[in-house]
Structure 1
Amino acid sequence: MIFRKPCSFLIILFAVFNLIFVRKLKFTKKSWVLILCIASPVLLELLLFWNNDSFSKGLKAIEKSTSLILFPIFIIGNYQRIKFLKVLQTYCVITTTLMVLFAIRFYIIYPDLLTKYLSRIDLFEMGYKFAASIGIHAPALNMHLAFVSVCAFYFVFYSFQNNEKKGLKILRFITFLLSFFFVLLVNTRMALVNVLIGFVIVFIIEIKSKFSLKKIALTFAGLVFVLGSILFFFIEKNPYMKQKYSTVTFAYMDKVGKLDEIDHPEIYAFNTLATRLSIWKSAWELSIKNLPFGVGASDGKPELNKYYKETNQKFLAKFEFPTHNQFLDFLLKFGILGPLVVILYIFTIGYLGYDLKNAVIISFFIIFFTSNLIDDFLLRFDGIAFSGFWFSIFSSYWLQQKIVLDKEPQAF
């Protein structure tokens, strides 16, 4: 999921394998509804394909989204074979192990950078440099890691609830600590907020109904102590975090739409909320001008960059910022239907989690929803494949539970 080329290759193998056994696919009316929901972004691109200025670029945009057709058909078509917890556990352990290996690699290849960071120099770039060494954008990497950390946290409690062996409990706890450490290392604001919200959701849903009030209080106190200690230690070693989550984020709020009035905005305004708001303001204005069908899937970013220049926003034009908001991105590209499809896609995940009362799925919904408020992950291959895969897994699990409920005798 994290690496585009290996992920693309594995998706192709996955599709070929399932085509060989295509007769084993089984669908119900409910499964087709879910498949259409998951495929809705790419179906929208096909519906409004005529609106692209470039045929080849339009095809390229669709190519990035083909996993939203392959995953739901082949995963939901085999929904009875999906082992939800096993898939979650495997993903969690393998991803965390990979991050450990990449951290060791980072230390070996870039010892000078590590020495610099340990000396508290240029701490603002640490997470981005680590992510870049892997070949992925930091917010995208941390969206994955936030979900991994929530899953690891869930399995810590799962281990105690099911009285697993002491060694396995320790292993799950270590996996959780490592996964949370990497969220802090990459250090993107939304991911950190999301992972803490995810921990609270897991605690409330998975623990409240299974333990006594006394055990809940003790567990919560222990959890606050562990997480608080990790955060305190990390902030002490990385004092830039205090600035990043306060003065840096909310600086220059009076310069929204006027970033060029700031002295060296590329230095002082790059990571501010004011920059995001300036981008959103431009994207909104351009979207309104191109209703009802938008500018086309392949023309969103070029048209936005052109608008920056037309409105004399030199800083935004220089760095060619994308919309950084999935709802606005689809509004700009597809007009009125765009944000409706994003709402359908993301909030269906929320419905599955709510209906199942499943903390992991609800946490994924919150992570993906909030991430798309400040970024545009249905524009990126890793965001498309990541969400399409897990949406399909969640849908399969939901269908399994519905079949069990449907088979239970009803009282009259």
Structure 2
Amino acid sequence: MAISEKNFNKAINGFLALIAVMMIFRKPCTLLIIVFAVFNLFFIKKLNYSKQSLVLVLLIASPLLLEIVMFWNNDSLFKGLKSLEKYISLLVFPLFILGNYQRIHFLKILRYYCVTTTIILLFFFLRFVIYFPELIHKYIKGDDLWEIGYAFSNSVGMHAPALNMHLAFVSIGCLFFVFKELRTKGELMFKMSSIIIFVLSFFFVLFVNTRMAFFNVLVGFGLVFLSEVMQVNNLKKVLLNTFFLTVILAGVIFIFVQMNPYMKEKYSSVTFAHMDKIGKLDEIENPEAKVFNALVTRVSIWKSGWELAVKNLPFGVGASDGKQELVKYFKQTNQQFLAKYEFPTHNQFLDFLIKFGILGPIVVLVYIGTIGYLGIDLKNAIVFSFFFLFFTSNLTDDFLLRFDGIAFSGLWMSIFGSYWLQRKITADKS
């Protein structure tokens, strides 16, 4: 099959932009990844690897490699294969993206992803308003304000923390492009459209309203601002633009908090309630209503998870058996609330420690740490913001168990790695 280099480059970048946008829709995105892999197999001779890119392939594929190395420890062959299958994208993405690293247009892909994802979420928001008027009415009245973000995420087809992790990265990227537009002498229309897209993206983070995403998006904004200060000579203009954007952000937050007073409660008393009941949640009257999403529940899970992991060192309980062994341990230690809802670990390092023993958290640290290394070496606020976002998200959740965490991180790590390789080649030639 013949294809010009120009068209091949367009196809590769088009695939990656589309996969990034469709990441919040598991089934269509899975199909796209398969088509992307088949497309590259047709043009396998175009792949080109350096020693550095092969090292990156191994680092990005490390969770998959760990699953393969520890496969013998699974009690069930079928469940072991099912667990292994989830990580295949961590082989597909580095092989075919880093194999085409010189063709990848990082900023173009990022811009398309940020703008298109925000527009898609706007469509889903309008759809939500039309199809769920009873929830909107309750929200306006101030009833069950905790419910709206999760209900909206379910209408998109995602778990709220996972959706908001994606949206936080989108919003950070949107702010980056606002600064980029304000820095240029382009038309006012483009500047205003960038600001509108950014405000919408931030509004959706607030609307879904998960704590880690809100924290991470603010840290990401700070990193983008610092990067802008360091790169631009006209400090006065940067500070003026930042003041303008801060006023807009403060206005959005103020309006949102006025509409959603539960946000104040959620980020203070609800989060830190009943911390004296760690490991004793059944002593709380109606724990479903009082501590389902509280920190004490996470800490109770972590306490049990740590105890289970220590008992099964050095090799863990097996990839396919982690959750069922944790639930079994909840029952053995008479923690009925945790057992009833079969809570996962909510910490990726601990989850891999339970499943794989000592090697587990080391691989997670290497995997996520690779993103941090790329961000620091590139001195790139977007890449480092992604590292911070994914690292902290996996301290309170376990996104390397889910498609929307595995494929999401593997895709962007491979794109970041391509950008890093391009910069390395440029530096070596100069």
TM-score (norm 2): 0.94
Shift of 1:115: 1.2
Whole-Å separation in 1 of the counterparts to 2:393 and 2:403: 15
**Alignment partner, residue 86 of structure 2:** 64
The answer to whether structure 1 residue 267 and structure 2 residue 289 are counterparts is yes
Letter in structure 2 aligned against 1:90: Y
Q: Is the 8 A contact 2:182 2:241 kept in 1?
A: no
Shift of 1:118: 1.2
**Alignment partner, residue 316 of structure 1:** 338
Whole-Å separation in 1 of the counterparts to 2:333 and 2:313: 19
**Alignment partner, residue 167 of structure 1:** 189
Residue identity (%):
63
**Alignment partner, residue 18 of structure 1:** 40
Shift of 1:213: 3.5
1:365-385: CA deviation from partner (whole Å, max 9, x where unpaired): 111000000000000111000
Shift of 1:353: 0.5
The RMSD of aligned alpha carbons is: 0.8
1:268-300: CA deviation from partner (whole Å, max 9, x where unpaired): 010110000000000000000000010011100
Deviates more, 1:1-10 or 1:160-169: 160-169
TM-score (norm 1): 0.98
Q: Is the 8 A contact 2:308 2:354 kept in 1?
A: yes
Shift of 1:222: 2.1
Match of 1:352 among 358, 374, 377: 374
Shift of 1:206: 2.2
Shift of 1:168: 1.1
Instruction: Name the SS for the 2:401 alignment partner.
Output: coil
Match of 1:196 among 209, 218, 226: 218
The answer to whether structure 1 residue 287 and structure 2 residue 309 are counterparts is yes
Count of equivalent residues? 408
Letter in structure 1 aligned against 2:392: T
**Alignment partner, residue 106 of structure 2:** 84
The answer to whether structure 1 residue 182 and structure 2 residue 215 are counterparts is no
The answer to whether structure 1 residue 55 and structure 2 residue 77 are counterparts is yes
Match of 1:149 among 145, 168, 171: 171
The answer to whether structure 1 residue 27 and structure 2 residue 49 are counterparts is yes
Whole-Å separation in 2 of the counterparts to 1:282 and 1:163: 57
The answer to whether structure 1 residue 205 and structure 2 residue 233 are counterparts is no
Whole-Å separation in 2 of the counterparts to 1:137 and 1:377: 11
Whole-Å separation in 1 of the counterparts to 2:231 and 2:118: 29
The answer to whether structure 1 residue 335 and structure 2 residue 354 are counterparts is no
Instruction: Name the SS for the 1:123 alignment partner.
Output: coil
Deviates more, 1:209-218 or 1:63-72: 209-218
1:229-262: CA deviation from partner (whole Å, max 9, x where unpaired): 1111100110000000000000000000111110
Whole-Å separation in 1 of the counterparts to 2:175 and 2:425: 28
**Alignment partner, residue 384 of structure 2:** 362
Letter in structure 1 aligned against 2:58: L
Shift of 1:223: 2.7
Match of 1:107 among 129, 145, 169: 129
Whole-Å separation in 1 of the counterparts to 2:108 and 2:238: 26
Whole-Å separation in 1 of the counterparts to 2:37 and 2:257: 45
Whole-Å separation in 2 of the counterparts to 1:44 and 1:217: 47
Match of 1:126 among 148, 161, 168: 148
Whole-Å separation in 1 of the counterparts to 2:279 and 2:245: 43
Q: Is the 8 A contact 2:232 2:238 kept in 1?
A: no
Gaps of 5+ in 2: 1-22
Letter in structure 2 aligned against 1:95: T
1:105-163: CA deviation from partner (whole Å, max 9, x where unpaired): 11121111111111111101110000011110000000000000000000000112232
Whole-Å separation in 1 of the counterparts to 2:245 and 2:27: 38
Match of 1:299 among 321, 333, 340: 321
Whole-Å separation in 1 of the counterparts to 2:231 and 2:415: 25
Q: Is the 8 A contact 1:279 1:321 kept in 2?
A: yes
Match of 1:233 among 255, 267, 277: 255
Shift of 1:167: 1.3
Q: Is the 8 A contact 1:208 1:216 kept in 2?
A: no
Q: Is the 8 A contact 1:201 1:363 kept in 2?
A: yes
Deviates more, 1:102-111 or 1:395-404: 102-111
Whole-Å separation in 2 of the counterparts to 1:29 and 1:217: 42
Shift of 1:169: 1.1
Whole-Å separation in 2 of the counterparts to 1:208 and 1:190: 27
Whole-Å separation in 1 of the counterparts to 2:210 and 2:202: 12
**Alignment partner, residue 424 of structure 2:** 402
Letter in structure 2 aligned against 1:112: E
Shift of 1:104: 1.2
Q: Is the 8 A contact 1:52 1:298 kept in 2?
A: yes
Whole-Å separation in 2 of the counterparts to 1:217 and 1:10: 42
Q: Is the 8 A contact 1:128 1:186 kept in 2?
A: yes
Letter in structure 2 aligned against 1:250: F
Instruction: Name the SS for the 1:378 alignment partner.
Output: helix
Gaps of 5+ in 1: none
Letter in structure 2 aligned against 1:354: I
Q: Is the 8 A contact 2:199 2:249 kept in 1?
A: no
Letter in structure 1 aligned against 2:311: K
The answer to whether structure 1 residue 40 and structure 2 residue 74 are counterparts is no
